[in-house]
Amino acid sequence: MKEKTEELRKKLSEMLAAAETDAAVEAIRVSFLGKKGAVAELMAELRNAADKKSAGQIINEFKTEAEQMISDAAERIKRAALDAEIRSAKKYNPDIRMNNVRGSYHPITLVSREVEAIFKSMGFTVEDYYEIVDDYKCFESLNIPKHHPARDMQDTYYLDNGQLLKTHTSAAQNAIIRKYGAPLRAIFPGRCFRNEATDACHENTFFQMEGIMIDENISISNLIYFMKTMLSEVFERDIKVRLRPGFFPFVEPGFELDINCLICGGEGCPSCKGSGWLELCPCGMIHPNVLAEGGIDTEKYTGFAFGLGLTRLAMMKYGVKDIRDFNSGNLKALSQFGSN
């Protein structure tokens, strides 16, 4: 029986390889698995066989294998037909998308990918986090207890269930520190929401990119090195920055890193609210309370964190004068920065 099924398997394989249509495969299926097909004939032979049991098993194994071979061939033909259809559609209409309009990446996506690549090349991983978080994640884990005046800096959208829309990407710090422990290098871009009065440099929905690095002996020099590298690679030219003290309860010491406004060259315009400088990337050494809340041994490890204003960075990089253009859905304005 074994030789017979081997012979049938070979024949079936050759026939299926030569089949080019559904109908051909179906004919082969009937000739092998149909009522009067090759398998049925083998079964009929079984009646007189001495080794009914083992021969029956061989036939059944062949039947299962034949079913699989036939279904694979049918799938191959279906896929080939679909490919041919796509090819012919492209031949007569090279761009089968709507009215030949090509999509393009949003400038925030472009700038985010660029910054991600820079940090990845320096050993940082890119993490993702929720947009809806709880009070603990957004404030308490960051050394901002209830009723702390620092909460007033971020007018928050609360949901009926007590959760809130994250006001800053720092809201992911605790979860990411807890997830990986130390040493750690991670960035996490994300959308943030604040109840802001909007103007040329403030939106109620905007993007930030948080970065944290925790290890032994991390100091302010490391922080400054990484900020400088990132900015010089994004802008590919020398730009003026200034570092001044800034207060955030989750860092100590904390800094405001401002960039000379590239829209007006520092003269003062609506994009920088007339100051010639734009607040871009507050940063600082992570407060020991925040490290401890994330389960880090504060005797052994220190770290820095920054909160890059990604939407503002895109403004400066692409010369967009009004931040509100990014959320406008205006394709004329948004599609000029890069195509897919």
Which residues are near ligand FA5 by CB under 6 A? 168, 170, 194, 196, 202-203, 206, 208, 248, 251, 254, 279-280, 282-284, 305-307, 309, 311-312, 323
- How far apart are alpha carbons 41 and 175 in whole angstroms? 66
Q: How far is the CB of 207 from ligand FA5 (least distance, A)?
A: 8
DSSP state of 324: G
Tell me the Cα Rg of the chain.
Answer: 32
Shorter beta-carbon distance to ligand FA5: residue 271 or 311: 311
Q: How far is the CB of 145 from ligand FA5 (least distance, A)?
A: 16
Shorter beta-carbon distance to ligand FA5: residue 31 or 156: 156
Q: How far is the CB of 202 from ligand FA5 (least distance, A)?
A: 4
Q: How far is the CB of 194 from ligand FA5 (least distance, A)?
A: 5
Shorter beta-carbon distance to ligand FA5: residue 77 or 280: 280
- The alpha carbon of 123 is separated from its chain's Cα centroid by a whole number of angstroms, namely 17
| DSSP-derived secondary structure for 17-83 | HH--SHHHHHHHHHHHHSTTSHHHHHHHHHTT-TTHHHHHHHHHHHHHHHHHHHHHHHHHHHHHHHH
Nearest one of 44, 47, 42 to 61, comparing CA atoms: 42
Strand partners, 258: 242, 279
Closest CB to ligand FA5: residue number: 309
Q: How far is the CB of 231 from ligand FA5 (least distance, A)?
A: 13
Main-chain dihedrals φ then ψ at residue 143, nearest 5 degrees:
70, 25
Shorter beta-carbon distance to ligand FA5: residue 11 or 191: 191
Shorter beta-carbon distance to ligand FA5: residue 254 or 276: 254
